[in-house]
Amino acid sequence: MSDSLDRLPARLVIASRQSRLALWQSEHIADALRNAYPQSEVRILGLTTRGDRITDTPLSKVGGKGLFVKELEDALARADADLAVHSAKDVPMALPPGFCIAAIPEREDPRDCLVSNRFASLDELPAGAVIGTSSLRREAQLRERYPGLEIRALRGNIDTRLAKLDRGEYQAVVLAVAGLKRLGLAGRIRATLEPEAVLPSPGQGALAIECLEERNDLRRGLLVLDHGDTAVCIRAERAVSRALSGSCQVPLAAYALLRGANIFLRGLVATPDGRRTVRAEIEGPRSEPERLGEELAKMLLARGARAVLAALS
């Protein structure tokens, strides 16, 4: 590690969104870097993204994933920051030229969960109950399994979403387990939704560390943060989405896990109303995550996803 330590700047600046969860994630990475490279000073540059400013419109209608990333990338390009910390699920599948994902740390729980003050499971929710979600992916899968529920858009950070639930605007909300755990709010979880019921978003529960591709010194130093098992799973999931041109406008899910030396990868494409859902799964060597993701995308297209995507375009 001494060679990498010598190459790292004496001062590292992390670009971060300013939500409580984003700052927690950035501070988590900052602490890891301080432990690995005690000679480097690490600080966080908080920024507000377009996605943070637009809180009253579903992401699918205002541009999708890049809304939470561009301002952080601009800070990297201006050299105001050295690296950016993102939720991996928010990172567009194709990065702008000159940028790269330098490390993917160990994943937190990738599942979704039900949060409710009255009901302990989705099965307990009565017909007509209002459930909030920010994701077309979640909405499509909920509508498929529970057509009697009323699904309403829910934007804002975790604290805002919980406040709306507590005010009675929703009978329940569906959130990512990882965010609640990271903020010490795991006690709000009433039921964890297994991937067999609600398949997660590509990259859910993982962080992505981005920097400029030309920063070879920094890229080598950031490898200390990379978790190999997590990284190959995320690469497979992102390959599915990339091959299908996945965005927030498409209800698309992909989730990979390791089985020994293999990756087991599942994927889903659906219409937002949940009436048409296409599923597929594949297993293959962990040494070929991108190929497996591309193969799974081809399977989904062959089973009907092409027509679903065409109808959504």
- Do 37 and 165 share a structural domain? no
The CATH number for 242's domain is 3.30.160.40
- Do 303 and 188 share a structural domain? no
Residue 55 has what pLDDT?
55
- Do 121 and 60 share a structural domain? no
Q: Say if CB 251 and CB 271 are below 8 A apart.
A: yes
- Do 275 and 210 share a structural domain? no
- Do 55 and 39 share a structural domain? yes
Mark 250-266 as b/e (b = at least 16 C-beta within 10 Å): bbbbbbbeeeeeebbbb
- Do 95 and 122 share a structural domain? no
Residue 1 has what pLDDT?
39
| Rounded Cα gap, residues 294 and 245, in angstroms | 11
The CATH number for 27's domain is 3.40.190.10
- Do 210 and 62 share a structural domain? yes
- Do 56 and 15 share a structural domain? yes
pLDDT tens for the chain, 313 residues: list them: 344 445 678 999 999 999 999 999 999 999 999 999 999 999 999 998 765 555 555 555 445 556 679 999 999 999 999 999 999 999 999 999 999 999 999 999 999 999 999 999 999 999 999 999 989 999 999 999 999 999 999 988 999 999 999 999 999 999 999 999 999 999 999 999 999 999 999 999 999 999 999 999 999 999 999 999 999 999 999 999 999 986 557 899 999 999 999 999 999 999 999 999 999 999 999 999 999 999 999 999 999 999 999 888 7
Q: Say if CB 16 and CB 22 are below 8 A apart.
A: yes
Structural domain boundaries enclosing 275: 238-312
Neighbours of 164 (CB within 10 A): 17
Residue 65 has what pLDDT?
52
Radius of gyration of the chain (CA): 19
Only one residue has tokens 């964890």, namely: 192
Q: Say if CB 83 and CB 14 are below 8 A apart.
A: yes
Residue 116 has what pLDDT?
98
- Do 121 and 62 share a structural domain? no
Domain count, the chain: 3
247's tokens? 């965005």
H or E element in which residue 25 lies: helix 20-36
Among the listed residues 82, 90, 109, 112, the single catalytic one is 90
Q: Is 112 a catalytic residue?
A: no
H or E element in which residue 68 lies: none
| Rounded Cα gap, residues 149 and 29, in angstroms | 39
pTM of the model: 0.91
